[in-house]
Structures are given as C-alpha cells and as structure tokens.
Chain A
C-alpha cells in the first residue's frame, strides 16, 4: 500500500541534479502517542470517579481502561498496515470520546449499585460493561471495513444495493407493531427492531447507506443541478424540474416524522441530503431552499398537531415542553428540567467526576449523556469535549477537501457533516436550544447500534483520508487490486488531477 521506495533509484529524466525527495510522512507515531495520551485522560477520569464514589481507588480500576486501550491499539496497528497515510488525529480523538463514554457508564453503574453489589460489577456487567463489549465489536467491525474496502471508490458500486437496504431499514420500525419497535414505553418513538431481547436501531446504519447513495447520485447529477438555473435576487435558483430529488427526500423525512414520531432522525436525513447537494453544486440556494422546506414542514407538523392531533400530537407535545419546560415540571417536562438542572449544578468546573447526581436524570445513559457528563466536568470539560468533536469533524472535512475524486469528496463531507448535525440535534435538545428529540450522542451514548455505525463511519473517513494524504505516484499507480487500472469507465471515478504538460 505504501509508495514503493524502489522508484527512487530510477534515473531522473531531468539530468544528474541531486534529487531532493522527501517521503510523505505517515505520522503513525504521532497517532500512537496521542492515543496513549487519550487513554491516560480516560484513566484519570475513571480513577477520580472511583475516588469520589467509593472514597477509595479500587485495586483493579484500570482493567476496563486497559482492555479498551488494547482494542484501540489493535485498530492503530490495523491502520498502520492498511491505511498508512490516514489522518493521525481521527483514531485518538474518537478513542478518547468512546473511552470517556465507557468510563462514564461504568461510573453510573457504580453510582446505582449498593455497596454489596459493587463487588459483582465485573468488567462486562452493567451498562458500562456492555458498552465495553460493544466497543470491542465496533472496533472489530471498523477494522473489518478497512480490510475489505481498500479503495473508497469501490463503495460506489454498491450504491443501489445500499440505498435499498437503507430504505428497508428506515421503514421497518414504522411498519412493525409497537411491541417490536418501541423499546421505551414512556417514549412513543418507533425507532427500534426488537427481536427476542436483542434490539437494534436500524436508523443508525440507514444513514450511512443513504449517504453513500446521495454521494453516488449527486456526483452523476451535479452538472445539471448546478448549471441549469434561474437567477433571482442575486442567488441562482434551480429549475423546477430539478427540484424533484430534494422534494422526494423531503417527503421521506416528513414520513419519518409522522410515522416514527422522531423529529431528530427526520432532520438528520434531510440535512444530510441538502448538505451533500450543497457540496456537490456549491450553490447556496440549496441551503436556503432546504432550510425553508424544513422549517415549513416543522411548522406545518406543529400546526397539524395542535389542530388535528393524531400522528402529529407527539411532536406538538415536544415543542410545548421546549417552549415552557416549567409548564409541567413533574410530568412531561421532568426529563428536560433535570438535564438543565444538572448542567446548571455543574457550573464552570463541574462537581468532579463521580461527585454529581447524574442518575437523577431519566435516560442519562443514552439521550442525556451530555447533561449527565456536564454536571460532573462542568463547562470547561464540556467545551473540551465539544472541541474534540469539532476536531474530528474538521479532519473529516479536511479529508474531503484533499481527496482527489468527487465521490470521495462528497462521501467524506457528508459523513463528517452527519456527525456534526447529529451532535447539534441532541446537544441542542438537551440544552434547550431546539425541541428535544432522541438521538444518540456519537461514541458517547450507551448502545451498540450507534457505536457500530459511528465506528464504521470513522473507518470510512480513515480510508478516504488515507487516499487523500497518500503521495501521488504517477509512474506506478498505487491502486489496490480491487479496482481495474486504466481510465475509469465513469467520470466520477476519475481523479481530478490528470495533468500533463
């Protein structure tokens, strides 16, 4: 996979000048150092939490941390061999957030357990232990993706298969009876497929499949979408007939809103499409149209909820809680209020890991993990966490800028934006900026589906950033065996840099 060093010995066609060559730095050692530093941070969190909760640091507090460190070191080794030029920051940053998630969930288990039960909290028991097991599986999946997909352009061949799978995954929970699709009896969102005690959240995987299709579709249609236009008020607006796909996706996301009663997921799908459309065409008008359509749809749903009720009623209730959380503080507003109170108690520096009362917040291990963590690490800790997320997203967008084929650009841009939008939806909901909808916090919330899907996303970003940062070797194209050499059959497979004097 690396550029063959042997090509250095070929005589330069330009004469006998001393050749100045610098191997592109893969920066894998920086990644390793960052990864170890991240694990030290997680260990510090776990130790402080135990000191606060149990008044002592148990002898084997480091065992779960050591085991996730081993898992992350394994993915580091996989990256070192299979994607040597991948971005050095992605794995350590994600590992830190994931590790903090595991440590926080374990801290919740310790907080809930009575002193007698604490002895039984072994490595894989409780929510924290399950999350640890899920981390293992997810990282293995990510490594598997890196092994299977040696060139991200190969993914575009399965675009139609993936979109079919994605649509089936999205629709299934809506069609299933509530017994199989509603995990939490208090929440009326139908997002799950529950079979025999085993629950998956198909929407998490569907977003990846849909994104691959969006990228594939838009690369093929970008010319017509970006060139044919009518100018109005200084902004280029597309022709009516080109609005078709965006209307279709708008209808799908409205259907998600109505049948699965989940504003967050519908915003996520629609936002993903509009942003990939914007990346493909570089036209601001799509963002304006997208925002208008979404807010129009949301206001319409709210209005219908207040007059007709029925499938729109739950959305109406959510908006009601958002507008006035104190309206019913011990009923519908309880969760939101506890989250806000938790964040408020934390203040600037937080109560310290293990010293807060995050167990007071309902669903603190999934939707409200941000509020629970925020109470204990305070504004300073939370902003560090947000900056780490920002850096993950920035590296993804960076890979999108640097990669040389359009499909890779759209896919990497869309994937990083998905993380960003999902964070906005859930953190905006928890902090009261927008109506609360149940989304998982990427890498932090308890839940296998979310963790697996997000690690797959990171694996895709690693693969694309490897292609983006790999030194160009035009004499012997370093193409993996999966992709045939020679001119690509379709234009979107072509690199944008085939330039001859």
Chain B
C-alpha cells in the first residue's frame, strides 16, 4: 500500500468520525441550543414590545383588528391561522386548534379568546407558563398586535 493512501485513509477516518458527530449534533440541534436560540429570537422585539404593550391596545380597538395568528419561532415557525370568531386552544393535546409539539408545552396550555374585537390570552394552568412578551400571563390578558406570546420554545404573534 502506498504511504499516501495510508495517510489519506488515516486522516480520512478521523474526519469521518467527526462528520458523524456533527451530523448527530445537526439532528438534535434544536434540543441542544434550544435555550440560546429562543432567547435570541425574543430579544429582538423586546424594546418594541414594551412600547407596543402600553400603547397599542387603544389603537386596536379603534380599527386594526387582528386577522391572523402567526407562529414566529419553534417547530411550527411560519404557520398561519386565520382568525375568526371562535376561540383558539393551544397545547399538545390532539384536539387543540393549534397542536404544538413542544417539550415544554402542556397538553392544554393556553387559549386565545376574542371579546368584541380584542383577543385575550389565558393560561389554562400549564406547567411551564405562558408569557406575553416578558410578563407571565396569570389571568385573561389583552394581546396587542405584534407582541410575542411565548409557550415553551414556540412564539406566536397576532398580525393584522
């Protein structure tokens, strides 16, 4: 066997071993960096959200009603639901309106209820809690447009 072939094989084996490691990490990446990614994703609207949280609700009542619920982060990122008159339940249970497969979500996690044009988010006694922007939701809370509702690693927003 020529020395070159042996050297290539020897280094190639170690490279292959590391390729395997990185492929495995790629498969489970979502789990490994779950904390870091979600904190980065919600960090962006933080300043905006604080302002929105105080000023927007008044505007919403006047004209701009929410027509869509958009998942902005998590496994279902990009999913849109057109809002109607009915409430929306969120959780891991199969009969939820939005079934999220999130390790940190409960079976019946939260619900969104419309009341005269304004949507309210309500936690249904979930294990890990529901957050509106950075505040934990304790009772029915009005949801302004564009403010993230966070459930586990999933973020949801109301859009016009």
Contact = CB atoms under 8 A, between A and B. Distances in A.
Interface of A: 3, 7-8, 10, 12-22, 24-25, 27, 30, 34, 37-38, 40-41, 44-45, 47-48, 51-52, 55-56, 88-89, 92-93, 96, 349-350, 352-353, 355, 377-378, 380-381, 384-385, 387-388, 391, 394-395, 398, 401-402, 468, 471-475, 496-497, 499-501
B47 interface: no
Contacts of B106: 497, 499
Interface in B74-113: 75-76, 79, 81-82, 84-89, 92-95, 97-99, 101, 103, 106-108, 111
B50 interface: no
Contacts of A93: 24
Contacts of B18: 380, 384
A415 B17 CA distance: 25
B40 interface: no
Given A37-B23, A391-B25, A496-B127, A402 B103 contact: yes
A497 B94 contact: no
B107 A499 contact: yes
Of B20, B101, B126, which is in contact with the most chain A CB atoms at under 10 Å from its CB?
A: B20
B14 A380 contact: yes
Interface of B: 1, 5-7, 9-14, 16-21, 23-25, 27-28, 31-32, 75-76, 79, 81-82, 84-89, 92-95, 97-99, 101, 103, 106-108, 111, 124-127
B124 A499 contact: yes
B99 A52 contact: no
A388 B10 contact: no
B25 A16 contact: no
Given A14-B88, A471-B101, A352 B81 contact: no
Contact of B94 (A47, A51, A475): A475
Contact of B28 (A13, A89, A96): A89
A473 B101 CA distance: 12
B21 A355 contact: no
A474 B23 CA distance: 34
B86 A16 contact: yes
A473 B93 contact: yes
Contacts of B1: 51-52, 55-56
Nearest first, the 3 closest Cβ-Cβ pairs linking A and B are: A15-B86, A352-B10, A48-B9
A472 to B, nearest CB: 4
Contact of B13 (A15, A45, A88, A387): A45
19 contacts: A7-B94, A12-B97, A17-B86, A20-B98, A22-B101, A24-B101, A34-B20, A88-B27, A349-B10, A352-B6, A385-B17, A388-B21, A391-B21, A395-B28, A474-B93, A475-B95, A499-B127, A500-B124, A500-B125
Given A41-B13, A472-B92, A21 B27 contact: no
Contacts of B98: 20
A398 B31 contact: yes
B93 A353 contact: no
Given A8-B94, A17-B88, A475-B95, 12 more contacts: A18-B81, A20-B81, A22-B101, A25-B101, A34-B27, A41-B17, A52-B1, A349-B14, A352-B9, A475-B94, A497-B106, A500-B125
A31 to B, nearest CB: 9
Contacts of A21: 94, 99
Nearest to A378: B14
A20 B13 contact: no
B103 A401 contact: yes
Contacts of B124: 499-501
A30 B27 contact: yes
A55 B76 CA distance: 54
Contacts of B6: 48, 51-52, 352, 355
B27 A20 contact: no
Nearest to A52: B6
A473 B21 contact: no
Contact of A96 (B20, B81, B94, B125): B20
Given A472-B93, A474-B93, A474-B95, A51 B24 contact: no
Contacts of A473: 93-94
Contacts of B16: 40-41, 44
A51 B8 CA distance: 12
B79 A20 contact: yes
Contacts of A3: 94
Nearest to B5: A51
Contacts of A37: 19-20, 23
Nearest to A348: B14
A44 to B, nearest CB: 5
Contacts of A497: 106-107, 127
B79 A15 contact: no
Of B14, B28, B88, which is in contact with the most chain A CB atoms at under 10 Å from its CB?
A: B14
A499 B125 contact: yes
A33 to B, nearest CB: 8
B40 to A, nearest CB: 21
Given A12-B97, A402-B103, A388 B86 contact: no
Nearest to B103: A402
A326 to B, nearest CB: 31
B86 A353 contact: no
A16 B84 CA distance: 9
Contacts of A402: 103
A349 B17 CA distance: 12
Contacts of B24: 34, 89, 92-93, 388, 391
B154 to A, nearest CB: 12
Contacts of B75: 22
A377 B94 contact: no
B7 to A, nearest CB: 8
Contacts of B12: 44, 48
Given A12-B97, A24-B101, A388 B20 contact: yes
A44 B107 CA distance: 46
